[in-house]
């Protein structure tokens, strides 16, 4: 089985979204594996060698940021967020579609604006050469990654919202 067929067999997405999902989930998986190694080395070093891994806390913080923001667009596209449907039985189908479109627009617009603000913080961090306290890693690139993932999530939110409302399918 070819690599493309293998990816297509394990993903429900179609078109270029399948490769974006595969790439972002690969980044998240590698990051999670790295977090596991850092934790194992840190705990082993602390208990068996009497010395913890220097910078383990910083690496864990950076790893969690990469993990969370790499998965955010994929979870959004798949509709994996918590949905409260208390009023769905009381409202008409048309009202629910309108509310769905409005919420998709508000959420994607908010993520876009948030991404702009975060990107400005990243530019400032890079201009000032800000680094982490112990390992001296530049923080601006991580902040840029968060901004870019916010923009991608905004795009997936608006496209997912439109797709769901136009196709009349709802995932549970």
pLDDT of residue 168: 60
Which H or E element spans position 158? helix 140-167
Question: What φ, ψ does residue 76 adopt, rounded to 5°?
Answer: -65, -45
Helices marked H in 45-134 — which ranges?
56-78, 93-127
Task: Judge whether 155 and 75 are in contact, CB under 8 Å.
Answer: no
Q: Which two tokens stand for residue 115?
A: 């991404």
In whole angstroms, how far apart are CA 131 and each of 53, 63, 138, 148?
19, 16, 4, 20
Sketch the domain layout of the chain as residue ranges: 3-167
pLDDT of residue 172: 40
pLDDT of residue 8: 80
Give the SS3 label for residue 138: strand
pLDDT of residue 163: 77
pLDDT by 10-residue block (mean), the chain, 172 residues: 81 82 94 96 90 90 96 88 83 85 91 97 96 93 97 90 68 43
Q: pTM score, two decimals?
A: 0.84
């Amino acid at each position: 089985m070819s690599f493309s067929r293998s990816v297509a067999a394990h993903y429900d997405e179609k078109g270029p979204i399948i490769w974006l999902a595969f790439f972002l989930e690969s980044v998240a998986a590698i990051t999670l594996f790295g977090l596991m190694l850092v934790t194992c080395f840190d705990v082993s070093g602390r208990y068996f060698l009497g010395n913890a891994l220097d910078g383990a806390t910083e690496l864990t913080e950076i790893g969690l940021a990469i993990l969370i923001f790499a998965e955010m667009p994929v979870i959004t596209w798949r509709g994996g967020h918590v949905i409260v449907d208390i009023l769905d039985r009381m409202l008409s189908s048309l009202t629910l579609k309108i509310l769905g479109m409005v919420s998709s627009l508000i959420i994607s617009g908010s993520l876009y604006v948030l991404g702009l603000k975060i990107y400005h913080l990243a530019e400032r961090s890079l201009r000032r050469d800000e680094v982490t306290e112990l390992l001296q890693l530049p923080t601006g690139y991580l902040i840029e990654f968060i901004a870019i993932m916010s923009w991608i999530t905004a795009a997936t939110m608006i496209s997912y919202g439109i797709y769901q409302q136009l196709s009349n399918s709802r995932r549970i």
